Amino acid sequence: MRIGHRPERDKRITSHVCLVARAFGAEGIYISGAKDQKICSTVKKVCEIWGGSFWVEFVSNPLKLIKNWKNNGGVVVHLTMYGLPLREIIKNICQDGRDLLIIVGGEKVPKEYYLEADYNVAVGNQPHSEVSALAIFLDRINNGEWEHLTFSDAKLIIIPSERGKIVKEFKEEKKDF
């Protein structure tokens, strides 16, 4: 969940939060703040080309969603530089197969989020970015498993190469009957 999205200022950074979430294994993103179609179309385009079913949903009452998430048995992590160190708390973040909601902020995060979160987690106690905090957290929580993630319906797949760009294209098969 990305809270406090401001369309005029955060377009690029919120898009990057979405792309990191998708690439590092999240199923989708809730965005609170003004509805911004540009974000939806950026993510949609990426999924059309690179595959997957990552979803984007704008929410008007994020705190209500968080409370419902917990009532339904889910776990809530809020990433903040004021939280407890990731390396210490990661072993306590017990999912047991429960759904995980990760909150990242933008401007000042209201105190209710600190109170509602099951865990307030710091990726180092220096200010950096919601993009880097999310990437590192997702990497650690899944033990790097995202590196094996593939998107079966991708139209383009990158073949890793030492230099240059090798891209394999999957065209939709046309069947003649």
Q: Confirm or reject binding of residue 170 to ligand SAM (CB under 6 A).
A: no
Q: Confirm or reject binding of residue 9 to ligand SAM (CB under 6 A).
A: no
| Alpha-carbon distances, residue 37 vs 41, 64, 110, 114 (angstroms) | 6, 23, 25, 29
Give the 3-state secondary structure of the chain: CEEEECHHHHHHHHHHHHHHHHHCCCCEEEEEECCCHHHHHHHHHHHHHHCCCCEEEEECCHHHHHHHHHHCCCEEEEEEEEEEEHHHHHHHCCCCCCCEEEEECCCCCCHHHHHHCCEEEECCCCCCCHHHHHHHHHHHHCCCHHHHCCCCCCCEEEECCCCCCEEEECCCCCCCC
Q: How far is the CB of 120 from ligand SAM (least distance, A)?
A: 9
User: Nearer Cβ to ligand SAM, position 66 or 104?
Assistant: 104
Q: How far is the CB of 2 from ligand SAM (least distance, A)?
A: 9
| DSSP-derived 3-state class of residue 95 | coil
Which one of 7, 28, 74, 105 is in contact with ligand SAM (CB under 6 A)?
A: 105
Q: Confirm or reject binding of residue 126 to ligand SAM (CB under 6 A).
A: yes
Near ligand SAM by CB under 6 A, which window of 45-53, 62-70, 116-124, 153-161?
116-124
Q: Confirm or reject binding of residue 117 to ligand SAM (CB under 6 A).
A: no
Q: For residue 172, how many other CB atoms are within 10 A of its CB?
A: 6
Q: Confirm or reject binding of residue 102 to ligand SAM (CB under 6 A).
A: no
Subset of residues 49 to 88 that bind ligand SAM, contact rule: CB under 6 A: 79-82
Which one of 53, 68, 95, 129 is in contact with ligand SAM (CB under 6 A)?
A: 129
Q: Confirm or reject binding of residue 128 to ligand SAM (CB under 6 A).
A: yes
Q: Confirm or reject binding of residue 47 to ligand SAM (CB under 6 A).
A: no
User: Nearer Cβ to ligand SAM, position 32 or 52?
Assistant: 32
What is the contact surface with ligand SAM in residues (CB under 6 A)?
79-82, 104-106, 109, 122-124, 126-130, 133
